[in-house]
């Protein structure tokens, strides 16, 4: 099953007078990079959330947004942090002295400074809270994976079409290569006869020249490896899972073989075909970057 690294999932669950909303969004990334935004009351579940996400996701930059609302009787209390308030006031007084300004801070102003007054949840059943949160998280992940699978199928179809076209180009190069040798033999034979006239042509020397030329431009090994790599990519697309890194490596190998063919080419048709092959490989490589 091919999955794209681009996905979106959302769920909203109300259970035990608790309302959870979970939203996941992801884009391409070499590894799994998770960024979680959630209320402070749920911070102690950070590690558990990350472990839960790994059940569904192996690669991608994932943003997770969680909201939580207690619909039952509140057990929250307000906590006053004296030391933090004193620090704020000390520095405000210091600023007033340094800049010759009147310190007009009121209690209502100071109380609004971060961490001076904070809401604290009363005792909660952490196991029950996690179970409720986990249910909402799993539902969002299931939707998230569905969107990745759907996009992955589109990627798979596009990649197979490109691979089929690449194979057509490889077959053309394979068919054209022997023709180049025959054309070279005919040209050199005609040139020698033009120079020597009616004199006997040394067929052995002519054969040697053609053999050296054929060896220099031979791309048989590159064609074999290209066919093998293309077949492997198609097989992985049909049977593999979490194959993004492997396909990226195969795309590099495809590009290497195409470069070698171009470096050996003395024929315009093969050169043009090699350039088109490299272009298709680059398109494939770009698409592969989207696969988990």
Residue ranges and CATH numbers for the domains of the chain are 7-75+125-149 (3.30.230), 77-118 (no CATH), 151-288 (1.20.140)
Q: Is the confidence at residue 197, as pLDDT, over 70?
A: no
Q: Looking at residue 123, what is its pLDDT? A: 63
Classify each residue of 36-50 as buried b or exposed e, where b means 16 or more C-beta atoms within 10 Å of its C-beta. Answer: bebeeebeebeeebe
For residue 194, with 0-12 CB atoms within 10 Å meaning exposed, 13-18 middle and 19 or more buried, which class applies? Answer: exposed
To the nearest whole percent, how much of the chain has pLDDT over 70?
A: 88
Q: Is the confidence at residue 199, as pLDDT, over 70?
A: no
| Nearest of 186, 180, 133, 96 to residue 22 by alpha carbon | 133
Q: Is the confidence at residue 150, as pLDDT, over 90?
A: yes
Mean pLDDT of the chain: 87
Q: Is the confidence at residue 201, as pLDDT, over 60?
A: no
What is the tens place of the pLDDT at every residue in 216-229?
Answer: 777 888 999 999 99
Q: Is the confidence at residue 261, as pLDDT, over 60?
A: yes
């Amino acid at each position: 099953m091919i999955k794209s690294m681009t996905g979106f999932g959302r769920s909203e669950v109300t259970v035990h007078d608790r309302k959870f909303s979970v939203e996941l969004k992801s884009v391409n990334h070499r590894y799994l990079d998770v960024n979680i935004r959630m209320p402070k009351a749920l911070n102690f579940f950070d590690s558990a959330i990350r472990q839960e996400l790994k059940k569904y996701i192996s690669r991608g930059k994932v943003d997770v947004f969680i909201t939580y609302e207690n619909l039952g009787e509140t057990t929250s209390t307000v906590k006053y942090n004296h030391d933090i308030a004193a620090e704020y006031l000390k520095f405000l007084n210091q600023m007033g002295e340094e800049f010759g300004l009147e310190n007009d801070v009121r209690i209502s102003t100071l109380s609004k400074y971060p961490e001076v007054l904070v809401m604290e949840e009363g005792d909660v059943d952490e196991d029950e809270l996690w179970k409720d949160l986990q249910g909402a998280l799993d539902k969002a992940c299931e939707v998230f994976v569905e969107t990745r699978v759907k996009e992955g199928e589109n990627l798979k179809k596009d990649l197979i079409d490109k691979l089929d076209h690449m194979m057509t180009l490889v077959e053309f190069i394979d068919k054209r290569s022997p023709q180049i040798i025959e054309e070279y033999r005919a040209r050199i034979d005609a040139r020698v006869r033009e120079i020597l006239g009616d004199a006997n042509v040394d067929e052995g020397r002519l054969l040697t020249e053609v053999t050296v030329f054929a060896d220099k431009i031979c791309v048989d090994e590159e064609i074999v490896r290209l066919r093998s790599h293309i077949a492997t990519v198609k097989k992985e697309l049909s049977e593999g899972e979490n194959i993004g890194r492997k396909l990226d490596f195969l795309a590099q190998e495809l590009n290497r073989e195409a470069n070698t063919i171009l470096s050996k080419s003395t024929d315009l048709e093969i050169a043009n075909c090699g350039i088109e092959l490299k272009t298709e490989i680059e398109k494939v490589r770009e698409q592969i970057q989207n696969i988990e």
